[in-house]
């Protein structure tokens, strides 16, 4: 908020700021620290992570035919993907695991790595068979860092794009926050149940932006039968979340941005089971409740303090997604006009 306030309403491509702010939340949990916005090491990691998410597009043939990795050259950028993976793993995971291990204090488990190492050491001491090991820890860290950074930040960018397209909706969100919370303190979690319209706008953003369009690839371990079709063992399965989030039978005029679809006659949140931006089933998003908390806290605070305005009046950002395992909006600039100074 301070970083945006300091811009004095100048247009900005806000992607790296939202990315760093969001990523710092998961980093505080997993490595026990946040990083400065000027930290070049962290900026590089996030840049690589974003590139990685783009390279993981299902339209990239090497993600469908892994043997293309062995074709000379790097037409399909699978070698670049491996390079990025090793860089992030070495500089983020291995480094922080080593550092935590060197400073390890059994009585001070204040982050995920130290808690994991403590459990691992306990299992070793007890001679228990366990899957807790440093290789797995490094993979889990990479998953949490990867899944917990770009997704929430991408959803925030779409929210901004829609608010620029629909200023009357942005205004209504602001009025609700002003009524319920006021402007003397930032919106807190306790206010969430009373900020129904704000929550509906966030949910409609998630539905329409559908930022993880085909979920995360899964793999059948045994043969399965789905609606009469046989899916052999060893098949990669993608869940097309778009077809549900944009289904005309569930959502009237599904491509319209209409937050009211998540509100009942009393103005309270109502959520059809087809609302599944975090997927469904046993492997649904691990970070759903955290992501929903982050989206609400960040976005409500931003709307409370700033009016979002386009870079140039009447020139709105494109509502076009980039290709990748997630779909952020194409690059755009936005102005954050401080409501305190207007």
- Annotated binding site for heme, which residues? 285
Q: Does 169 bind ligand HEM (CB under 6 A)?
A: no
The encoded tokens of residue 149 equal 């950074």
Number of residues forming the site for ligand HEM (CB under 6 A): 23
Q: Which of 94, 118, 120, 144 binds ligand HEM (CB under 6 A)?
A: 144
**Smallest distance, Å, CB 140 to ligand HEM?**
8
> 326: closest CA among 135, 204, 149?
149
Task: Give the residue ranges of the annotated binding site.
Answer: 285
> 92: closest CA among 39, 170, 157?
39
Residues 307 and 260: their CA atoms lie apart, in Å, by 22
Q: Does 21 bind ligand HEM (CB under 6 A)?
A: no
Q: Which stretch binds ligand HEM (CB under 6 A): 104-112, 151-159, 189-197, 219-227?
A: 151-159
> 161: closest CA among 6, 325, 309?
309
**Smallest distance, Å, CB 82 to ligand HEM?**
21
Q: Does 20 bind ligand HEM (CB under 6 A)?
A: no
> 315: closest CA among 186, 206, 188, 161?
161
Residue 152 CA from chain centroid, whole number: 3
> 46: closest CA among 168, 133, 137, 150?
150
**Smallest distance, Å, CB 153 to ligand HEM?**
9
Q: Does 160 bind ligand HEM (CB under 6 A)?
A: no
Q: Does 214 bind ligand HEM (CB under 6 A)?
A: no
Q: Which stretch binds ligand HEM (CB under 6 A): 146-154, 178-186, 191-199, 299-307?
A: 146-154
Give yes or no for a contact between 244 and 212, defined as CB atoms under 8 angstroms apart. Answer: no
Contacts to ligand HEM from residues 240-269, by CB under 6 A: none
Q: Does 208 bind ligand HEM (CB under 6 A)?
A: no
Q: Which stretch binds ligand HEM (CB under 6 A): 12-20, 66-74, 210-218, 328-336?
A: 210-218
Contacts to ligand HEM from residues 278-297, by CB under 6 A: 278-279, 283-287, 290-291
> 57: closest CA among 207, 238, 209?
238
CA 188-152-317 angle, 5° bins: 105
Residue, CB closest to ligand HEM: 287
List Cβ neighbours of 238 (8 Å cut-off, separation of 6 or more): 58, 214, 215, 217, 218
**Smallest distance, Å, CB 57 to ligand HEM?**
15
Residue 193 CA from chain centroid, whole number: 22
Q: Which of 31, 55, 147, 334 binds ligand HEM (CB under 6 A)?
A: 147
**Smallest distance, Å, CB 289 to ligand HEM?**
9
DSSP-based three-state secondary structure for 231: strand
Q: Does 152 bind ligand HEM (CB under 6 A)?
A: yes
Q: Does 161 bind ligand HEM (CB under 6 A)?
A: no
Q: Which of 277, 317, 328, 329 binds ligand HEM (CB under 6 A)?
A: 277
Q: Is residue 306 within a helix (H) or strand (E), and if so which, with residue range?
A: strand 306-310
Task: Output helix, strand, coil percentages for the chain, rounded to the nearest 5.
Answer: 55, 10, 40
Contact residues for ligand HEM, defined by CB under 6 A: 26, 143-144, 147-148, 151-152, 155, 211-212, 215-216, 239, 277-279, 283-287, 290-291
């Amino acid at each position: 908020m301070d970083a945006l306030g300091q811009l004095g309403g100048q247009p900005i491509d806000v992607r790296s700021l939202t990315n760093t702010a969001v990523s710092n939340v998961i980093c505080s949990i997993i490595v026990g620290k946040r990083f400065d916005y000027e930290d070049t090491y962290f900026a590089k990691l996030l840049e690589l992570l974003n590139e990685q998410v783009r390279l993981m597009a299902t339209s990239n043939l090497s993600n469908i035919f892994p043997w293309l990795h062995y074709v000379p050259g790097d037409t399909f950028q699978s070698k670049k993907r491996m390079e990025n993976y090793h860089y992030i793993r070495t500089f983020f995971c291995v480094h922080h695991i080593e550092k935590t291990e060197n400073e390890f204090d059994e009585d001070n488990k204040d982050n995920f790595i130290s808690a994991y190492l403590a459990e691992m050491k306990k299992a070793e001491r007890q001679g228990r068979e366990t899957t807790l090991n440093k290789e797995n820890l490094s993979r889990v860290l990479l998953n949490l860092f990867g899944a917990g950074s770009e997704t929430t930040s991408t959803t925030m960018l779409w929210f901004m794009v829609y608010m620029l397209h629909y200023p009357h909706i942005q205004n209504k969100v602001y009025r609700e926050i002003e009524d319920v919370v006021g402007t003397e303190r930032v919106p807190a979690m306790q206010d969430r149940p009373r900020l129904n319209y704000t929550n509906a706008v966030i949910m409609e953003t998630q539905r329409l932006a559908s930022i993880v369009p085909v979920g995360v690839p899964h793999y059948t371990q045994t043969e399965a039968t789905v609606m009469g079709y046989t899916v052999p063992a060893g098949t990669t399965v993608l869940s097309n979340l778009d077809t549900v989030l944009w289904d005309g039978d569930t959502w009237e005029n599904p491509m319209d941005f209409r937050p009211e679809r998540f509100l009942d006659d009393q103005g309270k949140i109502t959520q059809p089971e087809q609302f599944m931006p975090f997927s469904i089933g046993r492997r649904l998003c691990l970070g759903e409740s955290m992501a929903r908390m982050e989206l609400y806290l960040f976005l409500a605070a931003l709307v409370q303090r700033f009016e979002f305005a386009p870079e140039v009046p009447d020139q709105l950002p494109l509502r076009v997604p980039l290709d990748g395992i997630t779909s952020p909006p194409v690059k755009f600039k936005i102005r954050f006009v401080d409501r305190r100074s207007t």
